[in-house]
């Protein structure tokens, strides 16, 4: 069963910032995250709600079938900021240590 959470704007985004800042291994972007998913290295996936459906759908299905926690973030801009980059990103992940 998929663990699926939604991060709301404001305070919860600060928690995401801290989580990413302290994560030793992480990915930012669809291709890096897909490679990590295929290798079974992903502990938690963060996905922007405003990402396009053709990007979101396969990641949601993968997380569901492999029991990987999925957290929704309101916008790609907010997710990019939380990841410490200047541009938005649709997908990011924290990997197993």
Domain annotation for the chain: domains and CATH numbers: 18-95 (3.30.1330.30)
Dihedral through CA 36, CA 38, CA 40, CA 44, nearest 10? Answer: 50
Task: Spell out the alpha helix ranges (H) of 43-87.
Answer: 53-66, 76-82
Tell me the pLDDT tens digit for each residue of 55-84.
999 999 999 888 898 988 889 998 998 888
Q: Confirm whether pTM is higher than 0.85.
A: no
Amino acid 16: pLDDT? 74
Cα 31 from Cα 44, distance rounded (Å): 16
Instruction: Give yes or no for a contact between 74 and 61, defined as CB atoms under 8 angstroms apart.
Output: no
pLDDT at 33 over 90: yes
Let me know how many helices (H) and strands (E) the chain has, helices first.
4, 5
């Amino acid at each position: 069963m998929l663990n699926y959470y939604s991060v709301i704007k404001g305070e919860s985004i600060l928690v995401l910032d801290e989580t990413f800042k302290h994560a030793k291994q992480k990915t930012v972007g669809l291709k890096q995250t897909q490679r990590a998913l295929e290798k079974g290295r992903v502990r938690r996936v963060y996905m922007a709600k405003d990402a396009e459906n053709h990007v979101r759908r396969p990641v949601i299905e993968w997380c569901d079938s492999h029991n990987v926690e999925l957290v929704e973030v309101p916008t790609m801009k907010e997710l990019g900021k939380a990841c410490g980059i200047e541009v938005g990103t649709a997908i990011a992940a924290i990997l197993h240590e």
